[in-house]
Structure 1
Amino acid sequence: MIIDSTDNNLRGTQFMPIDCRNVMDDLDASAAMVADTPYLGLHIPQKPWMFTSEGLNEGRHPIPPGSVVGGLYDALKQDTDAELLLLDKEDAFFHTRLYYLFQLYGFHAMLWNDACENLKDSGLTLLEHTPSFPDEVDESREVQPPDVSMLATLEDVEHAVGIDDVLLIDVRAHNRYLGDTEPIDFKKGHIPGAVNIPYSDVFESGRLNITSLEHLRPFLSEFRELIVYCGSGMSATPPYYVLESMDLPVRLYGGSFSEWIRHHDVETGVSTMHERMAKFEG
């Protein structure tokens, strides 16, 4: 459930704030940021809890196995009935990533889609207890398999390319989609046939705008399935939740562009499908 300071019906529910802020791929900078500007609750490092070296795909930030995600969830919940409430800074995706991972393996959490300062004044009951991380992850722990209705694999995307009723959505910056520049990966361009809805389009004043893509509903509703991707599967999670909130059939491609280019070529410029979508953008 995605909530903000206007959700008065949650008064009386106890919440455990979870600080998800991070600097991508920099554990030291992440720790320094958190120390310099403390948030409420325990800070969750990005690795191994949000991605691992050996995960479910071959992208830059593989989705962790269920044992890792389940181990984190158990450590946070312990014996409390408090709801986990995931926090992040503006225009961010680490809280949506962890929210996605919990949902992927059947664990319940809530996402705070508002400023941390507003949480302090929201009237919500916040748990003062701060849990600790497990000393090691029990890899033998049994959890349910990942929800295939949420997660698209490389094979799923290979099948989707060229299929008229499945739409691939690239949420990277437009110049990366076009192939004009690529600061991270070793190929430029996008997965063939994909349209571009930049990550920044789904935010307003630094927070997810659930209605930001309503103008595209007539176009998006033409497809049996939507598959959203980014560079490595991290920043695609905010657009994923905007599309999900529209009750559209969407999955996240976990490996994203960084996995695709290990196995396939890409295309540059604007796809024919993207030209079709442009008619709805106004």
Structure 2
Amino acid sequence: MPGSLVPGSLVSVSRLLGRLDHVTLLDVRYRLGGPPGREEFLAGHIPGAAYVDLDTALAGRPGPGGRHPLPDEATFEAAMREAGVSMDRPVVVYDDWEGRAAARAWWLLRFHGHPHVQVLDGGWRAWSEQGGERETGEASVVRPGDFTVAAAKGMPVVEAERVPAVSVLVDARAPERYRGEVEPIDPVAGHIPGAVNVPTTENVDASGRFREASELRAVYAAVGAVEGADVAAYCGSGVTAAHDVLALELVGIRAALYPGSWSEWVTDPGRPVETGTTGG
């Protein structure tokens, strides 16, 4: 279509400018442990965007499956339709958290079969810095979409019982949480034995944009996450791990997500825990 976006998992502000009429925009601003992003949305958002709440639309209720288990299909489908998502229209998602919440929305839409989803590189910060227009208050009229979850899933997952068999298990949390030196959220500190640490901060530069593909490839190659390897990612609750999955996707490496992540892993006291660095 005229003005359509370049295929891929990221889109730049410069590419999106002037093409807002050709995409469905989702604002998924969110802060771990903070209030929902709706107030930020009301204060200013990209024109035409619909606000999507991570806790209610992009995650299920906390429980044995972790703090942010995957939402049930009916809930997710209804939320996406309400936000205007249709199968034949590209979707662009953004946040103000260097893409971490946006990556969760990207992953869920891809997982459930949407063919064209992109994360706005740099998010709201980049949009504002480059002079993008802003809209305040509630979203303008959003026409309901026809998004339907697909039976065949578009992204791989790995569940707890198979996690120990993954060849390259990437922990996306901050290094001090990975090593078990601090644990501000979950009841047990440490990491899954054998996991390697690539915190999401390694995926972006000082501007909050994703690093160049050559740099990302080197970061992940250093821990054995290379093309053809059996790779999976986890974090505290399955949200920010999608950021590592996205970074790997940008360099042609398909990685599985462990949705329950550490918050599910530690619900079973029989599962092993490691502290320090792997092999240390």
> Do the aligned residues in 1 keep the contact of 2:237 with 2:260 (CA within 8 Å)?
yes
2:159 to 153, 156, 169: 153
Q: Which amino acid aligns with 2:159?
A: T
Contact 1:227 1:250 in 2 (8 A): yes
Task: After superposing the two structures, state which structure 1 stretch, 84-93 or 233-242, moved more.
Answer: 84-93
1:213 and 2:216 matched: yes
Note if 1:16 corresponds to 2:21.
Answer: no
Q: Select 2:149's aligned residue among 118, 135, 143.
A: 143
Aligned to 1:138: none
| TM-score (structure 2 length as normaliser) | 0.78
| Alpha-carbon contact 1:66-1:145 (below 8 Å) kept | no
Cα distance, 1:80 vs structure 2: 9.6
1:200 matched residue in structure 2: 201
**Residue 190 of structure 1: how far off its partner (Å):** 0.4
Deviations 1:248-270 (A, max 9, x none): 23111101111111121310111
Same amino acid, percent of matched pairs: 25
- 2:95 matched to which residue of 1? 88
Residue in 1 aligned with 2:40? 33
Aligned length: 255
Greater CA drift, 243-252 or 149-158 = 149-158
Distance in 1 (CA, whole Å) between partners of 2:95 and 2:51 is 10
Normalising by structure 1, report the TM-score.
0.78
Partner of 1:280: none
3-state DSSP class of the match of 1:259? Answer: helix
Partner-residue secondary structure (3-state), 1:86: strand
Instruction: Output the CA distance in 2 between the equivalents of 1:246 and 1:9.
Output: 25
Q: Does 1:3 align with 2:11?
A: yes
Report if aligned partners of 1:54, 1:64 keep a CA contact under 8 Å in 2: no
CA distance in 1, matches of 2:151, 2:26: 24
What is the deviation of 1:63? 0.6
| Secondary structure at 1:228 match in 2 | strand
Deviation at 1:184, TM superposition (A): 0.6
Q: Which consecutive unaligned segments of at least 5 residues does structure 1 have?
A: 123-127, 135-140, 161-165, 276-282
* Aligned-residue offset at 1:143: 3.4
**Corresponding residue number in structure 2 for 1:106:** 113
Kindly indicate whether the alpha-carbon contact (under 8 Å) linking 1:93 and 1:235 is maintained by their aligned counterparts in 2. yes
Q: 2:277 is matched with which residue?
A: 270
Contact (CA 8 Å) 1:170, 1:194: kept in 2 or not? yes
Rounded to whole Å, the distance in 1 between the matches of 2:113 and 2:157 is 13
Change (3 A) 1:222 1:105: closer
Alignment RMSD: 3.2
Question: Does 2:127 align with 1:116?
Answer: yes
Give the distance between the partners of 1:238 and 1:229, measured in 2 at CA. 10
CA–CA separation in structure 2 for the residues paired with 1:22 and 1:8: 22
- 1:44 pairs, out of 45, 52, 55, with 52
Unaligned runs of 5+ in 2: 1-8, 134-138
- How far does residue 33 in structure 1 lie from its aligned partner after superposition? 2.6
Asked if 2 retains the 8 angstrom alpha-carbon contact of 1:154 and 1:260, the reply is: yes
170-179 or 86-95: bigger deviation? 86-95
Shift of 1:203: 0.8
How many Å separate the matches in 2 of 1:215 and 1:79?
A: 36
Structure with the higher fraction of residues in strand conformation: 1
CA contact (8 A) 2:29 2:95 kept: yes
* Aligned counterpart in structure 1 of residue 141 of structure 2, from 117, 125, 130: 130
